[in-house]
Structure 1
Amino acid sequence: MPKTKRNLRTGKEIRELFENQGIKYVMISNKIIELYKKGFYEYEVEEINDEGEIVNVLNRVKFDSRNLTLYVGMKFLDKMEFFCYIDEIANFLNMSVKRIKDRIQELQLIKLPMNNQLNKETMQNELLESLRMAQLVRQRGERGFERNRKVKTIRWFTPFDCDLKKVRNKETQKDELKAEKFFMVTIYDLDLFINGILDEHEFALYLYLIQCFDSNDKDKKGIAQTTSKISENLNVINPSVTQRRLDKLVNLRVKDKYCTDENKDFPLIHTRKPENYNHKLTTRQEPSLYYYPIYNDLTLQKIQEVKPDSARTIHENKTDSDSDELDTELLVDTEFHNMDTKVYKTDADFLF
């Protein structure tokens, strides 16, 4: 009997599932960006040396821009509890199957510490007395259904998650567990990579700027950084390469479902000059800039329907956003960015 061909979902079909089920964002631990800044993960394996003795040897696995992007995509798939083949992950993220296979194996080797675990009896997270090591990605064979028949498929998990802390609920006067030291990535942020608007290096830089930004900062400034410092943090040898990527992020505008007649598109990043900017230029020192990921921040506000000051606070009562309009005072400063740069596409449409 001939083998039945697998019914593979296309990238568009998988993307529509997220839209239909209302899965709009994931929470990413800051430790993931710290791992990306390091660029690799080391782990011990047992080997037999020439004398026949068992010794521990350090092995190293990379964690680069593509692995970071793949991990974010796997977080979304895990949140949807999607049973899928590797081919479908490749379709969803618009990546090659061969690269996906190798990189998923690398992600399964990486373990990071976290301070909580799920109690399977109560189905509630509990704090641990000591940290435990959790895999970034884990797989388990499952029985799925396809064309009214049972098939062998894979359920993908991302066991590593954000650390938790106890917070006193002012209304109930009871302690609750809330995530800490994390940033949030929307499905529309991921669309920037899926649709080919940003490559993996540009998308990783974009995630880095999101992680650096504090959404509770009322001035919407974030952290002032020089291009050289960003390059150093992300292991980019040539700062001019980082500058070109920053220029693209600053000048790019996107159109999505949240655009209105008044706001027909959104910028990704707004910049502001610190007070010492002109002094730095005059004294021939490299100036720094504040990078505000306005697209991510405002999209989260619209998704969560919360006030701007608490856009990234979870498990709190949701309220309507005060306004759909952009802050007109947050103008993109292009004086510094437009020096020695090439022309980029200034807008891009999303399917959703």
Structure 2
Amino acid sequence: MARSAHAYLRGSTVHFYQWLHSQRGRTLPHGPNVWICGDCHVGNLGPIADRHGRIDIHIRDLDQSVIGNPVHDLVRLALSLATAVRGSDLPGVTTAHMLEAMMRGYEASFEEAPAGMPKRPPQVQACMRDAVERTWKHLAHARVSNTRPSLPLGRHFWPLSRAESAAIEAFCATPALQRLVSALQGRAADARVAMLDSAFWVKGCSSLGLLRYAVLLSVGEADERDYCLIDVKEAVRAAAPRGAHVHMPRDNAHRVLEGARQLSPTLGKRMMATRFLDHGVFVRELLPQDLKLELDTLNRQEAMAAADYLARVLGIAHARQMDEGTRKNWLADLRLNRSRTLDAPSWLWTSVVQLIGRHEEGYLEHCRRYMYALGKAQ
């Protein structure tokens, strides 16, 4: 998290909501209660492949998904984009134009006859191109040791305890996992599934302190054998606030699964929820085409195009859950509170300005603590 301000943003979801609800002045509007991502930063969007191999840009991380206020996704995405703009050393006026473009894209998803998606921005198009070209060998090179059917123990993969190994072997023999693995196009429903290796997975910020496992499987017989990598991740209570008087699955793994089905059906159809060692976990096969979107270096035009495009992806995920009347009313609410100098709601601009300050303060303090801890360790 100390590597960059944007890396810190990705790992500070709890702080984000604490900061958001401690803002001075204006309060956020209350949108209709729908399933929201809850952690909608740029890195949580990207190419996702469906069970038939078709690829498109979707929300790709639903750990924080709840039924709540869609404004929270808007502010989180706006802060993420503003951080990317600052990281590209662009002037502050670009942030203002970027927020305007973002709102235009989001609002377009709620119009009575929404237009199709615009041309993909260069960074998004490059990520899509990489996703289309990736094969199992690319995934194996990144996650598995030189395409060998084993997980290389070391920095990212740790050995399991006997209890963990036994539980994973039992899980791999269940009909539920068989159905999940055989759901992809080209795999027979009765294909033989065998576990080759498993390990504790030390992964990103959202996994800190949680159970997470990588499981390497073979599918089919020796002459037509396929390999797949399964991600088993513990689900915990979301930091994102839920709406009042809403009904969601009480089990956190089933909450994440339902959030995925509503917001990213392509991904939700590739997931399952279960219990593992008395913890709720959600499970999915990692496909080579599933990539994280990165906005490293932007110019003004690229920043605006990326904001418009990604906001449309988010808007479509929200809009599909609303009836026509709700979409119309929500669109009317979004178009309020404009000023003569900014074609974006004043509450969004105020939130981003204040949150950038709190975020920068938190990031520098985190770096100071990290430097101190590293010095003591040495």
If the TM-score is normalised by the length of the shorter chain, which range does it land in? under 0.3
Q: Which has the higher contact order (CA 8 A, sep 6+)?
A: 2
What TM-score does the superposition give when structure 1 sets the normalisation length? 0.27
The structure whose residues are more often strand, as a share, is: 1
Normalised TM-score (structure 2):
0.26
Higher helix share: 2
